[in-house]
Amino acid sequence: MQDFDATLTALINGFAGKSPLGDAVMIGISQWGIPVLVVAVALQWWSGADRRGTRHVLIAAGVAFFLGLGLNQILLLMIDRPRPYVGGLTTLLVPPSVDPSFPSDHATAAFAIAVSFILGGMRKRALWFLVGACLVALSRVFIGIHYAGDVLGGAVTGAVAAVIIWLGYRRGTRLDRFLTGLF
């Protein structure tokens, strides 16, 4: 399995350094993808015919985002995986990171949002967030900062966080009515 992970990582990262435009696009997606997704979530607070239903999904996505990142901190302590560039596997297009590689925080955050929209039944929006999450995950491998398995692990962590939140955060509860009624 590690051989497949390294091979897939090298294949994706093999495109790095071939095109200045391609490199710039992938670096941009890596650096700005999560902030753009977060702003896209936040701006929906005032949209939609079913404002409370939309807000319920937005709150779930936000809480799943933070839960996923919290779960990652535990996993990072337990699984001290070195970054792929440490062993010379990848061409690094950005400054190195000192944190362990597994799982990817970027992938976790992006997929926590996307899966929250999927679980919330907002299909069109979910598709856009899923495309964004996949682009962010791909960019992290392309720029050489993560193994493919790191972003897959992050996607799973984000999805698990979203499911946990959806199992516990019910629409129409007193807390939900309070939160979705703000602003």
- Spatial CB neighbours of 112, under 8 Å, sequence gap ≥ 6: 61, 64, 65, 67, 68, 157, 158, 159, 161, 162
Is residue 49's pLDDT more than 70? no
pLDDT tens digit sequence for 57-69:
998 999 999 999 9
**C-beta separation of 41 from 62 below 8 A:** yes
**Residue position matching structure tokens 């409370």:** 52
Is residue 181's pLDDT more than 90? no
The secondary element (H helix, E strand) that includes residue 132 is: helix 123-142
**Residue 130 CB burial class (10 angstroms; 0-12, 13-18, ≥19):** middle
**121: phi then psi, degrees, rounded to nearest 5:** 75, 15
> What is the average per-residue pLDDT within 111-138?
96
pLDDT level of residue 2 (50, 70, 90 thresholds): confident
Q: How far is CA 94 from its chain centroid?
A: 19
Q: Which CATH number fits domain 20-180: 1.10.606.20, 1.25.40.10, 1.10.490.10, 3.40.50.10800?
A: 1.10.606.20
Q: Which of 144, 124, 126, 161 is nearest to 11 (CA)?
A: 144
pTM of this structure: 0.91
> What is the average per-residue pLDDT within 134-146?
98
pLDDT level of residue 183 (50, 70, 90 thresholds): low
